[in-house]
Amino acid sequence: MLEAINRSMVELVADIGSTDGIGSGVMAGASPDNLVFAIHNHLGNAFQLLDSSVGAINASEQYLACKSAQKELDELAGSLFRAQQNDILSERLFLRFNARIRSLIDQISDIIDTEYS
């Protein structure tokens, strides 16, 4: 299940990264730069945390990585909302990305061992 979540995360990273104003915004100096950097930071952090949860040495480590990834994904959704509010991202794209992010968060919740919560 974690492998499927990681594949979904890779697709999300690619889709958001290829979006005008976000993917090219960092290189082109789009404004506000901090918001675009935050989006990339949350994407990278969530990806890295999910990837590390696959190789976790125990359930406790996997739980912490997954919970942290969920937090990063939630922060990503917030940054994407702010990007939509600042006309960096269309409402249609925001809604599409937000639905995918919420789905990922739910999928992660499904695999978390409740014994550690």
What is the structure's pLDDT at 49? Answer: 93
Residue 19's contacts (CB-CB under 8 Å, 6 or more residues apart) are: 89, 93
Backbone angles phi, psi at 112, to 5 degrees: -70, 135
Looking at residue 116, what is its pLDDT?
A: 60
Nearest residue to 22 (alpha-carbon basis) of 8, 45, 46, 39: 39
* pLDDT given for residue 29 in this prediction: 47
- Give average pLDDT by consecutive 10-residue segment, the chain, 117 residues: 87 90 56 80 93 85 92 97 91 97 95 70
Which tokens go with 86?
A: 């600042």
pLDDT for position 30 = 45
Residue 40 CA to residue 24 CA, distance in Å, equals: 11
What lies within 8 Å, CB to CB, of 69 at 6+ separation is 45, 46, 49, 50, 53, 108
